[in-house]
Chain A
């Protein structure tokens, strides 16, 4: 009962927060200098043309009116029309969202799982050579410079060795020839491997280190000593008693690191020409395409907020000591 009240309270708070973000975004974009037409540096575009375009986009109305229209539309699921694509924002986002989700959820999950597994082993065998190797590798991975690393991966594995395609999500040739579904799926997987590998290497380091230090703290706890005194095997102690508890901060971290992974994600998407949302957002912002920029940003906000909600719930469920 407590839990349900807690969840609903949280949901309402998040909704209010979401709205605040929407409003701040709206005014931020429109108050910044320049508008979508300013960047059209075409000598054939006269000031009258520019004024006409602005009027057609509805940007000549007072800000409050624009805001009201925007909010009204938002509730009907209409996020406006992108100024540069001329398509509904929802359509633009929906076309690109699956790609981003596919890549990021897979890489985050794999990195978290591998990080927990390796961190567990590393902490268990603290001080040994294995621990040293794992720790140093994790450190190196964590401090890699994302765009540089992505380009190096592309260069070495995609070009020098040639096993992987140089970015993109599909091979046009296969799609023009109407290949079978199986071939197309394999093609997408083939293209996904390299960005997945890159993102995996970049993220696994921090999960490993976090799990390791959390595990080390847990291993000093009294209940581990008790378990050992009971005569349980190493594996059981390690997995069922220590790791489960040590994994708590890692769980929190997964939710938090969503924001971090979006940072590296936009750059990775650009370098691997992966048609996703991160790159779209940057593009929209630099071109003053307000509706699209707002739409992308709101989506990211929604995803991160809900991820954090889930993490909170998981945390409460996993740690019985925390009560609300």
Chain B
């Protein structure tokens, strides 16, 4: 999380002269203070921390014994779905595997998929959007045509088609495909914003002052489009996690990985949908909570980076 904030602060402060290092740190700590005072930020971060803990714990869960392996570990005494008890905090699925361990494993996958694909698609989308909006002409047209072509494709359906045609997909393939299918949405919005900004007086002024195009893009336009990019990044994470969950729910996810969508698929296909709430509810709630927390964090960061959005009366 901090890495990400740092990342964007660096981009923000691209033009800062490196000899002002301590200015950098000052800026970071003041941003952090603003962030943590925001109730949304606090809530979001704490939920995220909880899930991160779960994800880390999943690496060590097998130390508890072979029975707790999320994929193949069955309880020898239990051969059908039972409710929560002392040895299985959330009960077992229909084969006898521990649900809580599967939930932790799912947290790991959700983080990987969400963060990785959102990050990739935001980077591509922002750069393409800014360049396209500012440059105009042939460059703009070509980039936007490409964006159109990709954007037409509903990502879930495409992924389903690819999975159905070519066999099951590997988790990294899914991440990559989600990322490259979702950047156009960001690019378009960034481009529209850039277009609006392009004709603002302060841009004209810097052009007159002799600033190079790159400088204008990264120093003047980018900070103004970043909040919107942020908003979309959180949308990207949420949509990436939801797309992966839908894919797994339909049975097309990576069968070697247990994700929350996969868990829901098992509830559904084994006929326990309306009878095993301890199995049905946790994955669904986790998906919602995790995406919610990412969004809350995004909104809080929104306020950090765009001073105009901060609550009046604070610094």
Contacts and interface: CB of A to CB of B under 8 A. Distances in A.
B152 A304 contact: yes
Nearest to A16: B145
B151 A308 contact: yes
Interface string B275-315: 00000100010011001100110000010001011010000
Contact of A282 (B151, B157, B166, B238): B157
B160 interface: yes
Given A29-B165, A144-B288, A145-B264, A322 B195 contact: yes
A29 B195 CA distance: 39
B153 interface: yes
A155 B273 CA distance: 10
Contact of A145 (B148, B165, B245): B245
Contacts of B195: 322
Given A249-B192, A286-B164, A305-B152, A17 B235 contact: no
B156 interface: yes
Contacts, number: 125
Interface in B142-170: 145, 148-149, 151-157, 160-161, 164-166
B239 interface: yes
Contact of A259 (B141, B154, B264, B296): B154
Nearest to A149: B284
A256 interface: yes
Nearest to B200: A321
Contacts of B97: none
Contacts of A217: 227, 306, 308-309
A206 B235 contact: yes
Given A17-B148, A147-B246, A308-B151, A216 B309 contact: yes
Interface string A9-24: 0000110010011000
Interface string B229-249: 001000100110011011001
A145 B157 contact: no
A139 B188 contact: no
A74 interface: no
Given A127-B311, A285-B164, A145 B288 contact: yes
A143 B284 contact: no
B157 A21 contact: no
Contact of A143 (B164, B242, B302): B242
A139 B296 contact: yes
B160 A285 contact: yes
A19 B296 CA distance: 42
B308 A32 contact: no
A319 B160 CA distance: 38
Interface in A44-70: none
A17 B311 CA distance: 46
B274 interface: yes
Interface string A137-172: 001101111111001000100000000000000000
B49 to A, nearest CB: 18
Interface string A304-315: 110010000001
B213 interface: no
B156 to A, nearest CB: 4
Interface in B83-126: none
Contacts of A286: 164
Contacts of B152: 17, 21, 259, 300-301, 304-305
Contacts of B261: 145
Q: Which of A21, A217, A252, A259 has the most CB of B within 10 A?
A: A259
Given A142-B295, A145-B264, A13 B145 contact: yes
A182 B235 CA distance: 43
B235 A28 contact: no
B30 interface: no
B222 interface: no
A220 interface: yes
Nearest to A258: B154
Contacts of A266: 156-157
Contacts of A28: 165
A146, A147, A249, A308 — most chain B CB neighbours (10 Å): A147
A280 B195 CA distance: 39
A213 B231 contact: yes
Given A249-B189, A308-B148, A322-B196, A260 B238 contact: no
B155 A263 contact: yes
A149 B164 CA distance: 25
B217 interface: no
Given A142-B238, A256-B151, 13 more contacts: A28-B165, A139-B292, A139-B296, A144-B288, A217-B227, A249-B189, A252-B189, A253-B189, A256-B189, A259-B155, A267-B250, A300-B157, A315-B192
29 contacts: A13-B145, A17-B152, A21-B149, A28-B165, A29-B165, A140-B288, A143-B242, A143-B295, A145-B249, A145-B264, A145-B284, A145-B287, A148-B280, A151-B273, A213-B302, A216-B309, A220-B309, A256-B151, A259-B151, A259-B152, A259-B154, A259-B155, A263-B157, A263-B243, A264-B156, A282-B157, A300-B152, A301-B152, A321-B196
